[in-house]
């Protein structure tokens, strides 16, 4: 049984109540007709049935209004206006009528006086919670657990004698009445709002006020407070809890769902631990402590023509770090990474870097001379887009971290003569490829790319390897294939820094899952905490951080101009209200739920662009089978002074040209839809009309590109 089938069975198992027996039957029929059905497809099939059933059920429960027709008399009779409903329940008996019309004689058991009940006793001390004014609720679509419950559940509730259809919402702490239903109830007198209501997407919902009322749910009579808001009518937990039968049923369903979800999580945890144990047994050499040694190649370093040796003296080591540096030199010497030498024409000093855990890392500072004298290794590093395209379709992810990555590759004899460090204990020559050499990243990436060549669902960026699969079986198979290559190349892996079979990972500053990629929350938090810039250098730093996540932000080009103006040459730094507004808006956009979907070569592509006075923006998206569109990539570009003089139609075309050029890697060799909101472009680039004479050259050139 595949993991999709397991998820579907857990989903079906959550529908235990007899009320949903037909839903279970339908779900099983769907799985029988399509065994490879995913949980999302199953939910969409069942959701349509649930919506139809809920709507028809609510209609059937409404009592039809009787209308009498007198076919003999044609004279219209003036009808009496319906009596206005009281603003609050009767203080004598709690009924839905005026107190003066109450026929019940009762005695309060609190004050022992006649004429009212204890609930409405004026001598009773009122307990008013002032903190209620700051209460906030969220009307949440609980999709993480409610995958097992219908998308819409309605109940007919009698409020002050009037039947109202209400949608049950277990994510709402209070009951909300729409303005329309409030009018149906006779517009009861409202008290001032005492709560602040927010929707699931954190948008505020206007509350007009609240009123006390009597209501009946499934024959159970109770009283409570209803809040009138600019939203749909929702039956919250404050009213649901007053119906013992309904409340018990909901708790049972929640417990069943929690049990099933817990079982699914336990299953994945157990599978992960079993996978980890199997890998340790099957690839014991890979997880051995110590450094590995690449068996396929040795790294070499090429000098530039006419390069002269550079010898730097040793830097003094602080007394507090002297022991640590000596121990590190001893460890590297015992591991075979370095060897003492008596003479060398090349020498670089060492530099101490403090780690996150407080310890010290010893690094070689080859920027003092050697890096300027050697040729750059020309093997390219993969871009983030290249890696994310490889991860398309994956639901489970694993990350492999090589132990002291570069040091696992040996260097040739010529390189040993150049890679020498000068320390307080003398000269040492490297036997392995060290960190800090200009050509080391390209050299190491070339070895890693060769190692994973031909393996599906695997990507590597320097010493980080990512493996993904659409199913657990596919993921595990690909993971073992990668470990076989690692073992064949002689590399070692740090097990404690590896993660296996995860639904989400963090990589290159992004959170990656089956839906796509999002900004790393830690990086976003750091940007949110940045103070207001005090000079142009700080503005550049802020814009640099924003540009890293610029692919997530739609229409960033509309907010950057005031900040970009501060970074221009000879521009006076003056922080205006426009700058502050742009600064706040950009940070606010990063707080929203940003998601970019993975590029899929099988899905249709849409490219759209827009332009304003100061910049252009574009987006490339996928259209999914359900008709939805999800962004793959956003771009923003500020217009130069000459480009700002373009006419609006030229700016719109320039936006399309920029988009097509930037997204060339995604759209080359594929059919795609080019979308614009500037309708004149359709006629100008059509067959019936020519290009405007004053813009012929530029527009003709752009038309040729398109």
How many angstroms separate the CA atoms of 463 and 475, rounded? 20
The CATH code of the domain at 517-591 is 3.30.70
Domain borders along the chain are 3-54, 139-253, 319-514, 517-591, 596-704
CB 575 within 8 A of CB 599: no
How many angstroms separate the CA atoms of 61 and 53, rounded? 12
Q: What is the mean pLDDT of residues 131-144?
A: 37
Among the residue ranges 129-143, 285-299, 338-352, 579-593, the one predicted with the least confidence is: 129-143
Q: How confident is the model at residue 161 (pLDDT cuts 50, 70, 90)?
A: confident
Closest CA to 653 of 683, 604, 697, 609: 609
Residue 458 phi, psi (nearest 5): -125, 135
Q: Is the pLDDT confidence value at 249 over 80?
A: no
For residue 642, the model assigns a pLDDT of: 84
Among the residue ranges 163-167, 240-244, 422-426, the one predicted with the least confidence is: 240-244
596-704 CATH choice from 3.40.50.10490, 3.10.20.370, 3.90.1150.10, 3.40.50.620? 3.10.20.370
How many angstroms separate the CA atoms of 348 and 488, rounded? 34
Q: How confident is the model at residue 43 (pLDDT cuts 50, 70, 90)?
A: confident
Question: Does the 319-514 domain belong in CATH 1.20.1740.10?
Answer: no
Q: What is the DSSP string of 17-44?
A: SGGGHHHHHHHHHHHHH-TT--HHHHHH
Q: Is the pLDDT confidence value at 133 over 70?
A: no
Q: Is the pLDDT confidence value at 263 over 60?
A: no
Domains 139-253 and 319-514 share a fold: no
How many angstroms separate the CA atoms of 416 and 409, rounded? 13
Q: How confident is the model at residue 584 (pLDDT cuts 50, 70, 90)?
A: confident
Q: What is the mean pLDDT of residues 4-28?
A: 69
SS3 70: coil
Q: Which residue has the higher pLDDT, 204 or 337?
A: 337
CB under 8 Å to 587, separation ≥6 — which residues?
527, 528, 530
Q: Is the pLDDT confidence value at 503 over 80?
A: yes
CB 286 within 8 A of CB 492: yes
Q: Is the pLDDT confidence value at 71 over 50?
A: no
How many angstroms separate the CA atoms of 389 and 660, rounded? 18
For residue 291, the model assigns a pLDDT of: 87
How many angstroms separate the CA atoms of 450 and 402, rounded? 16
SS3 678: coil
For residue 65, the model assigns a pLDDT of: 38
Percentage of the chain exceeding pLDDT 70? 73
Q: How confident is the model at residue 73 (pLDDT cuts 50, 70, 90)?
A: very low
Q: Which residue has the higher pLDDT, 131 or 601?
A: 601
Tens of pLDDT, residues 600-648: 888 888 888 888 887 888 888 888 887 778 888 888 888 888 888 888 8
Write the class of the CATH domain 139-253.
mainly beta
Q: How confident is the model at residue 398 (pLDDT cuts 50, 70, 90)?
A: very high
For residue 419, the model assigns a pLDDT of: 92
Tens of pLDDT, residues 653-706: 888 888 888 888 888 888 888 887 777 666 666 555 555 555 556 666 666 566
Q: Is the pLDDT confidence value at 138 over 50?
A: no
Q: How confident is the model at residue 511 (pLDDT cuts 50, 70, 90)?
A: confident
Whether the predicted model's global pTM rises above the 0.75 cut: no
Q: What is the mean pLDDT of residues 457-478?
A: 91
């Amino acid at each position: 049984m595949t993991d999709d089938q397991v998820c579907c069975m857990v989903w079906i198992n959550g529908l235990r109540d007899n009320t949903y027996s037909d839903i279970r039957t339908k779900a099983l029929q769907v799985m029988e007709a399509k065994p490879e059905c995913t949980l999302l497809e199953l939910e969409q099939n069942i959701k349509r049935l649930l919506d139809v059933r809920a709507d028809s059920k609510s209609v059937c429960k409404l009592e039809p209004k009787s209308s009498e027709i007198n076919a003999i008399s044609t004279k219209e009779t003036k009808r009496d206006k319906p009596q206005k409903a009281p603003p609050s329940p009767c203080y004598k008996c709690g009924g839905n009528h005026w107190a003066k019309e109450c026929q019940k004689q009762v005695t309060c058991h609190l004050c022992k006086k006649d004429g009212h009940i204890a609930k409405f006793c004026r001598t009773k001390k009122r307990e008013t919670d002032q903190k209620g004014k700051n209460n906030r609720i969220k009307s949440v679509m609980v999709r993480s657990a409610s995958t097992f419950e219908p998308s819409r559940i309605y109940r007919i509730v009698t409020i002050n004698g009037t039947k109202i259809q209400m949608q049950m919402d277990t994510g709402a702490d209070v009951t909300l009445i729409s303005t329309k239903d409030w009018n149906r109830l006779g517009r009861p007198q409202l008290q001032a709002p005492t709560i602040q209501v927010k929707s699931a997407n954190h948008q505020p919902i206007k509350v007009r006020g609240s009123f006390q009322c009597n209501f009946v749910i499934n024959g159970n009579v109770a009283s409570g407070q209803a809040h009138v808001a600019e939203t749909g009518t929702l039956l919250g937990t404050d009213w649901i809890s007053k119906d013992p039968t309904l409340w018990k049923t909901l708790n049972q369903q929640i417990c069943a769902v929690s049990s099933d979800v817990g079982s699914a999580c336990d299953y994945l945890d157990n599978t992960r631990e079993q996978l980890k144990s199997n890998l340790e047994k099957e690839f014991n050499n890979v997880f051995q402590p110590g450094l590995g040694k690449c068996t396929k190649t040795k790294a070499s370093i090429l000098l530039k023509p006419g390069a002269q040796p550079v010898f730097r003296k040793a830097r003094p080591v602080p007394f507090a770090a002297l022991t640590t540096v000596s121990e590190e030199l001893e460890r590297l010497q015992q591991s075979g990474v370095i060897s003492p030498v008596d003479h060398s024409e090349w020498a670089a000093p060492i530099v101490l870097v403090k780690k996150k855990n407080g310890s010290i890392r010893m690094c070689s500072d080859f920027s003092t001379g050697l890096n300027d004298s050697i040729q750059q290794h020309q093997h390219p590093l993969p871009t983030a887009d290249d890696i994310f395209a490889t991860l398309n379709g994956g639901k489970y992810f694993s990350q492999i971290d090589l132990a002291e990555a570069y040091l696992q590759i040996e260097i040739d004899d010529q390189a040993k003569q150049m890679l020498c460090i000068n320390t307080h204990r003398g000269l040492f020559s490297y036997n392995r490829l060290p960190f800090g050499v200009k050509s080391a990243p390209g050299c190491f990436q070339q070895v890693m790319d060769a190692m994973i060549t031909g393996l599906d669902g695997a990507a590597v960026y320097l010493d980080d390897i990512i493996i993904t699969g659409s199913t657990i079986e596919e993921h595990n198979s690909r993971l073992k294939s990668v470990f076989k290559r690692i073992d064949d190349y002689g590399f070692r892996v740090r097990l404690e820094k590896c993660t296996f079979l995860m639904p989400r990972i963090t990589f290159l500053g992004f959170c990656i899952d089956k839906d796509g990629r999002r900004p790393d929350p830690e990086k976003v938090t750091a940007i949110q905490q940045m103070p207001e810039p005090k000079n142009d250098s700080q503005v550049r730093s802020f814009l640099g951080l924003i540009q890293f996540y610029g692919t997530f932000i739609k229409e960033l080009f509309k907010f950057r101009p005031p900040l970009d103006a501060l970074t221009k040459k000879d521009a006076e730094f003056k922080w205006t209200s426009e700058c502050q507004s742009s600064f706040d808006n950009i940070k606010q956009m990063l707080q929203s739920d940003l998601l970019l979907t993975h590029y899929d070569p099988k899905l249709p592509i849409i490219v759209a662009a827009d332009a304003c006075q100061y910049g252009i923006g574009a987006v490339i998206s996928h259209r999914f089978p359900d008709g939805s569109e999800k962004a793959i990539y956003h771009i923003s570009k500020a217009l130069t002074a000459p480009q700002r003089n373009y006419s609006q139609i030229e700016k719109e075309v320039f936006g399309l040209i920029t988009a097509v050029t930037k997204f060339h890697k995604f759209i080359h060799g594929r059919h795609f839809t080019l979308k614009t909101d500037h309708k004149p472009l359709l006629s100008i680039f059509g067959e019936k009309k020519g290009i405007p004479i004053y813009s012929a050259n530029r527009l003709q050139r752009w038309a040729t590109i398109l």
